[in-house]
């Protein structure tokens, strides 16, 4: 079955959503589900117990030679580089860091958001800055709800690859005029729930908060759609989640 919506009553906050979805995956045959839809009503809320969960997962990942939660989150939004001076300045700082740290490969998600290769040549396209401008204009002029996207998937780059392809395909922003809320929808072609998903969710939370603040909106809901979701095991069954190797 390839539509598995999570019960929204148990996924109201980011960490709770991750915990409950991981439990649902644990209880399936093969630790896998397709079409997992997770709706988070309050992305900005987090209690002390949930912070403790993040720390516990972080220690576990480090102990098994995996990237920590913060590193995964930073691939979507580099929180430490945000100085409050807008998307263009943030992109400039990020790309200086990116060029020093990444020698090859498709890169990080945020690099796609702020430096998409321009098919006409010339300066790369800063999708993030453009989307923020469009959302700001919507508040001041004609209000549109269906034209704000951050694209990641690119058929020109490794479309046939099994590995070294971005799991995140698309981020959509949905503004709501009556409430001034900005909702976010993220589509993943594949998700590894232990290694990556908690960090992915927290990165999306930071990205949503940044865009909302820059464009003059309040933070709305966050919806995560994983067309394939896996809970990794130590056995590495079917090639999924064998600990000790970074992928």
pLDDT in tens, 188-221: 999 999 999 999 999 999 999 999 999 999 999 9
For the domain that residue 194 is a member of, what is the CATH number? 3.30.572
**What pLDDT sits at residue 237?**
43
Question: What is the rounded distance in angstroms from the CA atom of residue 189 to the CA atom of residue 9?
Answer: 25
pLDDT recorded at residue 233:
83
* pLDDT tens digits for range 163-184: 667 899 999 999 999 999 999 9
Residue 25, domain member (yes or no): yes
Q: Within a domain: residue 67?
A: yes
User: Residue 86 — very low, low, confident or very high, per pLDDT cuts 50/70/90?
Assistant: very high
Task: Give me the sign of the Cα torsion angle 211, 215, 218, 220.
Answer: negative
As a whole number of angstroms, the distance between CA 71 and CA 143 comes to 36
Residue with tokens 């590894």: 192
Q: What distance separates the 2 farthest-apart alpha carbons in the chain? A: 56
Provide the pLDDT confidence category of residue 62 given band limits of 50, 70 and 90. very high
pTM, entire model: 0.91
What's phi and psi for 211, nearest 5 deg?
Answer: -65, -45
Q: For residue 161, what pLDDT is reported?
A: 65
219 within domain boundaries: yes
Q: pLDDT band for position 83 (50/70/90)?
A: very high
Q: What percent of the chain lies above the pLDDT cut of 90?
A: 78
Q: What is the mean pLDDT of the chain?
A: 90
Range from 3-12, 178-187, 233-242 carrying the lowest mean pLDDT: 233-242
pLDDT value, residue 243: 46
- Whether 18 is covered by a domain: the verdict is yes
Please name which of 48, 60, 54, 41 lies closest in space to residue 15, comparing C-alpha atoms. 54
Mean pLDDT of 118-146: 93
Identify whether 244 is part of a domain. Answer: no
Q: Look at strands 32-40 and 4-5 and give their pairing.
A: parallel
pLDDT computed for residue 239 by the predictor: 40
- What is the pLDDT, as a whole number, of residue 172? 98
Does 245 map to a domain? no
Token digits of residue 58 = 């972080």
Angstrom distance (rounded) from CA 46 to CA 37: 21
Q: How many domains does the chain have?
A: 1
For 149, the domain range is: 4-178+187-239
158 domain residue, yes or no: yes
Instruction: Give domain status of residue 60, yes or no.
Output: yes
Closest CA to 69 of 206, 214, 224: 206
Q: Supply 29's token pair.
A: 């045959």
Instruction: Write the CA distances from 133 to 85, 148, 245, integer angstroms.
Output: 14, 10, 41
Q: Is the per-residue pLDDT at 156 higher than 90?
A: no
Structure confidence at residue 99 as a pLDDT band (50, 70, 90): confident
149 and 130 in contact (C-beta within 8 Å)? no
Which tokens go with 116? 């998409």
142, 129 contact by CB (below 8 A): no
At residue 42, does pLDDT exceed 90?
yes
Q: Are 34 and 189 in contact (CB under 8 A)?
A: no
pLDDT bracket for residue 58 (50, 70, 90): very high
pLDDT value at residue 114: 97
* pLDDT for residue 240: 44
């Amino acid at each position: 079955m390839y539509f598995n919506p999570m019960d929204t009553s148990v996924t109201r906050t980011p960490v709770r959503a991750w915990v409950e979805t991981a439990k649902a995956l644990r209880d399936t045959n093969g630790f896998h589900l397709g079409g997992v839809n997770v709706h988070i009503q309050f992305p900005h809320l987090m209690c002390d117990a949930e912070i403790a969960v993040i720390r516990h997962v972080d220690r576990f990942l480090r102990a098994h030679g995996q990237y920590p939660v913060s590193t995964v989150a930073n691939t979507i939004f580099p929180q430490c580089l945000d100085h409050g001076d807008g998307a263009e300045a943030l992109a400039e700082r990020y790309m200086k860091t990116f060029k020093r740290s990444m020698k090859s490969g498709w890169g990080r998600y945020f690099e796609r958001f702020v430096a998409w290769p321009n098919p006409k040549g010339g300066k790369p396209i800063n999708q993030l800055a453009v989307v923020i401008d469009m959302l700001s204009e919507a508040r001041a002029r004609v209000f549109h709800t269906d034209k704000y996207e951050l694209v990641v998937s690119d058929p020109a780059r490794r479309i046939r690859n099994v590995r070294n392809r971005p799991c995140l395909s698309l981020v959509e922003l949905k503004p709501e005029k009556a409430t001034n809320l900005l909702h976010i929808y993220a589509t993943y072609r594949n998700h590894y729930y232990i290694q990556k998903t908690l960090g992915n969710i927290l990165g999306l939370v930071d990205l949503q908060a940044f865009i909302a603040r820059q464009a003059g909106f309040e933070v709305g809901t966050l919806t995560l759609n994983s067309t394939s979701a896996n809970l990794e095991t130590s056995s590495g069954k079917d090639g999924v989640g064998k600990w000790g190797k970074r992928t």
